[in-house]
């Protein structure tokens, strides 16, 4: 027999979307992450992620749970084919403490294309990636 009880839904409000100052902070963090990624700076890349076992990075060939697993992956990753171009980068901020950063990329050496999504949270130590997903996918590169 089905329950007739109604579920209570809690609505979370984030305040304003895309406050200019917050968006500028996240855009700067995103740009700094990209510099560290291209340089294969494992130590810097590790500092961008939330230092917690609940941090997640799903990559093109790996599922990483926890800051330690993410750091271990970065430490052993090769430095080849890292330079890339970005397109359609979209940063959306919800209130003052949470944002998403989504982008398409094309590797300069191989021409491989993919997508990257990151969830950023403002923590006491600053903006950190709390969850990320990277996938390779063949698609036509956007014009312009």
Q: Is residue 13 part of a domain?
A: no
pLDDT for residue 5: 64
Over the chain (144 residues), the average pLDDT of each successive run of 10 is: 67 83 98 97 96 97 96 90 96 97 97 97 98 95 85
| Sheet with 113-123, side-by-side order of all strands | 63-65, 56-58, 126-136, 113-123, 98-107, 84-94
pLDDT of residue 143: 86
Question: Domain limits at 123?
Answer: 20-136
**Whether the Cβ atoms of residue 100 and residue 92 lie closer than 8 Å to each other:** yes
- Angle (CA) 31-32-34 rounded to 5° is 65
CATH of the domain at 114: 3.10.450.50
Beta-carbon count within 10 A of 1 CB: 3
* 14 lies in some domain: no
In this predicted structure, what is the pLDDT of residue 128? 98
What CA–CA distances, in Å, run from 70 to 89, 98, 109, 110, 123?
A: 23, 21, 24, 24, 18
Into how many domains does the chain fold?
A: 1
In a domain, 30, yes or no: yes
Whether residue 144 lies inside any domain: the answer is: no
- pTM for this predicted structure: 0.89
């Amino acid at each position: 027999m089905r329950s007739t009880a109604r579920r209570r839904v809690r609505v979370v409000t984030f305040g304003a979307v895309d406050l200019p100052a917050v968006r500028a902070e996240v855009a700067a963090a995103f740009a700094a992450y990209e510099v560290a990624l291209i340089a294969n700076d494992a130590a810097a890349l590790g500092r961008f992620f939330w230092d917690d076992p609940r941090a997640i990075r799903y990559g093109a060939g790996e599922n990483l749970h926890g800051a330690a697993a993410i750091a271990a992956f970065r430490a052993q990753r090769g430095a080849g084919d890292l330079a890339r171009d970005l397109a359609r980068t979209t940063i959306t901020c919800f209130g003052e403490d949470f944002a998403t950063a989504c982008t398409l990329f094309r590797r300069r050496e191989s021409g491989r294309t993919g997508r990257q999504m990151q969830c950023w949270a403002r923590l006491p130590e600053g903006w950190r990636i709390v969850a990320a997903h990277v996938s390779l996918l063949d698609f036509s590169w956007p014009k312009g």
